[in-house]
Amino acid sequence: MDGQQLLDRVRENERTALERLGSDKALLAATGADLDTDTVLGVLAATELFHADAFRRWSEETDDERVAEAFETATETAGDHADRLDADLEAIPDESGLETGVGGQDDDVTRAGAGLVGASLVLDRILLQAVNFFVNEADERRADLIREVRTGADDRRDAGLALLEDSCGSDEEWERAATAAEAAVAAAYDDYVEALEGMGIDPKPVC
């Protein structure tokens, strides 16, 4: 397996989850149906702040310099996103972040798979709906901000794949990385389903 094959596998195996996480119900689930500017930005800022904290901890716990550098870069990117999103809030809401499957991984390979690849795939889908939200609000400035955050999340995914190319020395390690990435997407989807069902909304698309 290589990085592209891992990405293709995760996208294929988690196709339904990723499609629904990028549906027009994504922000309903993320915000508890409180669709206003501060809530949307607050949820996204809290998510990236959580990511920055996790990546910082992982960078300190690894013995591999390449892994430490990758997680340090991810920390800086996520922290910058959180700061920029916070700065654009008119009021600071008390929001928790999105479930992206980050947490519980205890080695470099699964942390890269879940935190840099899987979580970034989840974030990409939800950020797409955040862009659409601000476009519909005729708020092009904030739509552009979310587009930039989305580009940063995609870059983080690619950095994770590159790190796995350098770090995975066996099929078993590739398998663990792929499984961790899939589990991250699945965790996010489970949270999405639970949130919508709790509001009496069917998580499945209307055909």
Q: Using one digit for the tens of pLDDT, what is the confidence trace for 60-110?
A: 999 999 999 999 999 999 999 999 999 988 766 666 789 999 999 999 999
The answer to whether residue 206 is domain-embedded is no
Confirm whether 55 is domain-assigned. yes
**Residue 192 in domain:** yes
pLDDT-derived band at 31, boundaries 50, 70, 90: very high
The tally of domains found in the chain comes to 1
Mean pLDDT within 29-48: 92
* Residue 177 neighbours by CB under 8 Å, 6+ apart: 6, 109, 110, 112, 113, 117, 164, 168
207 inside domain: no
pLDDT at 96: 75
Query: Average pLDDT, stretch 14-40?
Result: 93
Q: Is residue 204 part of a domain?
A: no
Dist. CA 161–CA 158, nearest whole Å = 5
CATH number at residue 56: 1.20.1260
Q: Is the pLDDT of residue 184 over 60?
A: yes
Within a domain: residue 104?
yes
User: Is 22 part of a structural domain of the chain?
Assistant: yes
Share of the chain above pLDDT 90, in %: 87
58 found inside a domain: yes
pTM over 0.85: yes
Domain around 127? 3-198
The pLDDT mean for the chain works out to 94
